[in-house]
């Protein structure tokens, strides 16, 4: 196994790492940690000259983290060192930019702003309104969308919240949804349940039924999906996955959805950055709803977005917005929305396409090397940022390989492969090339 890891690392992934010698807390590594108490050239002079309160209960407001809480500071420094001294290959994570982290740690965290721009339940939101509108504009621009056709809600706290809010907006409780089964690469929020109990809230409040991959090719079985949809008659057909290394046939999915009068929803959480970088098929050409997280291949903070096509249904915008707030969550996290806006500006830059292409090339190089070494990959390769490695033929579990890689400073995650019955001791690992 060790020789395999050395071979993979040498041929498929090029990474600049920090020295293996652990730096002190005062070294340059600590500069990676955002310190919100430090003033910058952009900080208004009135704040730089702020007189500190003499009241003891206010002193903590102006005390830097390292001074006030060295325990938390040390943990942050330790995690910073861990991330930058090894290979981070978890497909659902990424390394975000300093600008994104600065926005995420800004004073915007202080403001409460339930509602939408121009219609808040609190005063003092004139700057927050500008920020949210800017974020919406950048979201549409990053994915090259016509604002007359598409709208977007940028308030969801996560991809899971975005998905559940979408279901809440479009259908009634106990209506039917269909998504890719979890053991075949689908996501929990697409209606996952077991024979013993319903796991996800989406399976508790809605009736769900999975479609599957072909047992031989490990690709989406569109014929089976079409036949099953005719029987189950879902009101929402969900595409998108958590561990599916191939692209999607949106034209075929559109036809299947139309035949049943269903909404077609794409959860592009894993591949949104690749869609923005134009190296994946475009879900916006066929789908009614597109949801995503913002922290995977998009390289932003941890949050969610809901894109909705509004030219065919004049009520869908208000339904989505009301489902996000007040139905599913409270006031938006404005510091996170600022960080999303920064990440979306980066995603709209032409250089982001080069990044997305490099992600694909690295993933395919990694897959090719594993196959060359005689290992089994689900689907035999990859079209996106992730590789799903089936370890069962060599008698290993994903849990064991995850632990071995941890000891080698390579961070991966155990993952179910087709045919697995245990999520805790699965037969595979998932590798990502996006950091």
What's the CATH code, domain 142-327? 3.40.640.10
Counting other chains too, the contacts that 28-33 makes at CB distance below 8 Å and 24 or more residues apart are: 29/77, 29/80, 29/81, 29/84, 30/77, 30/80, 32/80, 32/84, 32/98, 33/73, 33/76, 33/77, 33/80
pLDDT of res. 61: 86
Strand runs labelled E in 281-332? 289-293, 304-309
CA pair distance 33, 164, nearest whole angstrom:
33
Per-residue pLDDT of the chain (435 residues; tens, 9 = 90+): 545 554 554 444 434 333 444 544 444 344 444 444 444 545 555 555 455 566 778 888 889 999 999 999 999 999 999 999 999 999 999 999 999 999 999 999 999 999 999 999 999 999 999 999 999 999 999 999 999 999 999 999 999 999 999 999 999 999 999 999 988 999 989 988 888 889 899 999 999 999 999 999 999 999 999 999 999 999 999 999 999 999 999 999 999 999 999 999 999 999 999 999 999 999 999 999 999 999 999 999 999 999 999 998 999 999 999 999 999 999 999 999 999 999 999 999 999 999 999 999 999 999 999 999 999 999 999 999 999 999 999 999 999 999 999 999 999 999 999 888 777 789 999 999 987
pTM of the model: 0.90
Q: Is 222 exposed, middle or buried (CB count within 10 Å of its CB: 0-12, 13-18, 19+)?
A: middle
How far apart are the C-alpha atoms of 355 and 364, rounded to whole Å?
14
User: Contact, 382 vs 364, CB < 8 A?
Assistant: yes
How many residues in the chain? 435
CATH 3.40.640.10 residue spans of the chain: 142-327
User: Among candidates 335, 428, 334, 435, which has minimal Cα distance to 388?
Assistant: 428
What fold, for 350-432? 3.90.1150
Residue 15: predicted pLDDT: 40
CATH 3.90.1150.10 residue window(s) in the chain: 350-432
Point out the residues that are catalytic: 112, 114, 267, 293, 296, 302
- The dihedral sign for the CA sequence 283, 285, 287, 293: positive
Please state, in angstroms and rounded to a whole number, the distance separating the CA atoms of residues 326 and 262. Answer: 25
Q: Is 261 helix (H, G, I), strand (E, B) or coil?
A: coil
């Amino acid at each position: 196994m060790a020789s395999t890891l050395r071979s993979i690392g040498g041929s498929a992934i090029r990474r600049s790492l920090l020295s293996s010698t652990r730096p002190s807390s005062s070294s340059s590594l600590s500069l990676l940690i955002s310190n919100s108490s430090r003033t910058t050239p952009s900080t208004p002079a009135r704040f730089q000259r702020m007189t500190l309160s003499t009241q003891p209960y206010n002193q903590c407001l102006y005390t830097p983290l390292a001074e006030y809480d060295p325990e938390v500071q040390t943990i942050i420094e330790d995690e910073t060192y861990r991330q930058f001294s090894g290979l981070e290959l978890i497909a659902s994570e990424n390394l975000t930019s300093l600008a994104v982290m600065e926005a995420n740690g800004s004073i915007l965290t202080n403001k409460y702003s339930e509602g939408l721009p121009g219609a808040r339940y609190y005063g003092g939101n004139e700057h927050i309104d500008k920020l949210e509108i800017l974020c919406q504009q950048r979201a549409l621009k990053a994915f090259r969308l016509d604002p007359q056709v598409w709208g977007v809600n940028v308030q969801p706290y996560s991809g899971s919240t975005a998905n559940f809010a979408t279901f809440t907006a479009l259908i009634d409780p106990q209506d039917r949804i269909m998504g890719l089964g979890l053991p075949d690469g689908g996501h929990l929020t697409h209606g996952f349940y077991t024979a013993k109990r319903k796991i996800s809230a989406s399976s508790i409040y809605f009736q769900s039924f999975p479609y599957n991959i072909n047992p031989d090719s490990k690709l989406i079985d569109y014929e089976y999906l079409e036949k099953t949809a005719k029987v189950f008659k879902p009101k929402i057909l969900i595409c998108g996955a958590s561990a599916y290394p191939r692209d999607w046939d949106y034209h075929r999915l559109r036809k299947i959805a139309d035949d049943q009068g269903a909404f077609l929803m794409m959860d592009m959480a894993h591949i949104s950055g690749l869609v923005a970088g134009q190296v994946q098929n475009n879900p916006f050409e066929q789908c009614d709803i597109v949801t995503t997280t913002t922290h995977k291949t998009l390289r932003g903070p941890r949050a969610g977005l809901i894109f909705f096509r509004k030219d065919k249904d004049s009520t869908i915008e208000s339904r989505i917005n009301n489902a996000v707030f007040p139905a599913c969550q409270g006031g938006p996290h404005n510091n996170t929305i600022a960080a999303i806006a920064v990440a979306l500006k980066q995603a709209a830059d032409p250089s982001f396409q080069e990044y997305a292409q490099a992600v694909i090339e690295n993933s395919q190089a990694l897959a090719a090397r594993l196959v060359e070494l005689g290992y089994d990959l689900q689907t035999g390769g990859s079209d996106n940022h992730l590789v799903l490695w089936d370890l069962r033929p060599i008698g290993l579990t994903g849990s064991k390989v995850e632990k071995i890689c941890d000891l080698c400073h390579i961070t991966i995650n155990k993952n179910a492969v087709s045919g697995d019955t245990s999520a805790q001791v699965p037969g595979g690992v998932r590798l990502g090339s996006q950091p």
